[in-house]
C-alpha cells in the first residue's frame, strides 16, 4: 500500500511514507512546534519516496489523546492534504474519487511501538498529559491483532494499579516513575508514524478509513485550565485505582 502517516501528539513529530515495500522516515519537534514544520517535512518525504498525494491509498494521523495543539495540527493537515489530493483525482478522471483519511489512536500506536521494540504484547500504554496526569489505555496483542482492554482514561500516576503479566510503556517514567507501580516492566516508547504504518493495513481492512470531513481528533481532557479550588477538590477526592 502507498501510505503517509504522521503523529504530532507528543514532544516528537514523527512522519513516515510507505511505497513499494520501502519506508521513508522523518522526526522533529512535535506539539505546538509542528504547526510550522509538518507540511514542509511531509512534502520533502513524499518527494524522496517519489509519490504524489493523489497516489496514496490513505493518509494516517495520530488522532489522540495527546497535545491539544499537536492533535489539531495533525487532523487539519490530514484533512487538507486529503481534500487537495481528492480534488486532483476528480479533475483528472471526472469521476467521484477521493483519498481517505485514517485516524489512529495514539495509545494504540504507542502499544505497537512497544511490541516492535521490546516484544511487549500486554501493554498499559501511558502518555504524559501534563498537569500531573497521564493518558492510559490497555491493549493485548493476540493472533497478530491488537485488542483494547477497556476504554481510555485520564489518571493521576499514583492511581495506576499493577497488572501481573503486563508492561508499562510510554513517555511518563522520567516525570512520574517514582509514583508508578513497582515490579512491572517499563518500556520507553512513543506513538511513531512507522508504528501507524504497521497498523494501517489492518485498520483499513476493518473499515476505519474515512472521508476527510469525517476525520476528527480525540480529546480525553475536555478542560485545560482548572482553578485552584478545582485542583484542591481533585486532590481531596482522588479517583479510584485503575
Does residue 188 sit in helix, strand or coil? Answer: strand
Can you tell me the distance from the alpha carbon of 187 to that of 168, in angstroms, rounded to the nearest whole number? 6
Q: Does 239 or 23 have the greater pLDDT score?
A: 23
Can you tell me the distance from the alpha carbon of 90 to that of 98, in angstroms, rounded to the nearest whole number? 8
pLDDT at 217 over 70: yes
pLDDT at 228 over 50: no
Structural domain boundaries, residue 10? 2-214
Percent over 70 (pLDDT), the chain: 90
231 in any annotated domain? no
Domains of the chain: total: 1
pLDDT at 232 over 70: no
59 in any annotated domain? yes
Each residue's pLDDT tens digit, 98-155 = 999 999 999 999 999 999 999 999 999 999 999 999 999 999 999 999 999 999 999 9
Query: Residue 148 maps to which CATH number?
Result: 3.30.420.40
User: Average pLDDT in the 80-92 region?
Assistant: 89
32 in any annotated domain? yes
Q: Does 24 or 87 have the greater pLDDT score?
A: 24
172 in any annotated domain? yes
pTM score, whole prediction = 0.89
Contacts of 84 by beta carbon, 8 Å cutoff, 6+ apart: 53
pLDDT at 76 over 90: yes
184 in any annotated domain? yes
Can you tell me the distance from the alpha carbon of 94 to that of 50, in angstroms, rounded to the nearest whole number? 25
Can you tell me the distance from the alpha carbon of 53 to that of 12, in angstroms, rounded to the nearest whole number? 23
Q: Do residues 54 and 23 make contact, with C-beta atoms less than 8 angstroms apart?
A: no
Amino acid at each position: 500500500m502507498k501510505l503517509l502517516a504522521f503523529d504530532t501528539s507528543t514532544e516528537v513529530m514523527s512522519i513516515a511514507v510507505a511505497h513499494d515495500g520501502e519506508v521513508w522516515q522523518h522526526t522533529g519537534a512535535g506539539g505546538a512546534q509542528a504547526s510550522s514544520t509538518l507540511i514542509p517535512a511531509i512534502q520533502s518525504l513524499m518527494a524522496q519516496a517519489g509519490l504524489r498525494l493523489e497516489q496514496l491509498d490513505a493518509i494516517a494521523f495520530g488522532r489522540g489523546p495527546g497535545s491539544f495543539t499537536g492533535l489539531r495540527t495533525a487532523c487539519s493537515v490530514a484533512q487538507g492534504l486529503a481534500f487537495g489530493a481528492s480534488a486532483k483525482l476528480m479533475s483528472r478522471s471526472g469521476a467521484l474519487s477521493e483519498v481517505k483519511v485514517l485516524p489512529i489512536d495514539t495509545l494504540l500506536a504507542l502499544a505497537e511501538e512497544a511490541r516492535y521494540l521490546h516484544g511487549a504484547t500486554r501493554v498499559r500504554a501511558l502518555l504524559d498529559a501534563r498537569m500531573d496526569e497521564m493518558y492510559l489505555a490497555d491493549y493485548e496483542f493476540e493472533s497478530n491483532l491488537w485488542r483494547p482492554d477497556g476504554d481510555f482514561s485520564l489518571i493521576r500516576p499514583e492511581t495506576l494499579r499493577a497488572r501481573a503479566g503486563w508492561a508499562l510503556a510510554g513517555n511518563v517514567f522520567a516525570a512520574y516513575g517514582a509514583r508508578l507501580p513497582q515490579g512491572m516492566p517499563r518500556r520507553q516508547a512513543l506513538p511513531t508514524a512507522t508504528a501507524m504504518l504497521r497498523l494501517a493495513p489492518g485498520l483499513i481492512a476493518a473499515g476505519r478509513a474515512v472521508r476527510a470531513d469525517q476525520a476528527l481528533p480525540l480529546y480525553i481532557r475536555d478542560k485545560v485550565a482548572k482553578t485552584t479550588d478545582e485542583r484542591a477538590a481533585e486532590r481531596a477526592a482522588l479517583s479510584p485505582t485503575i
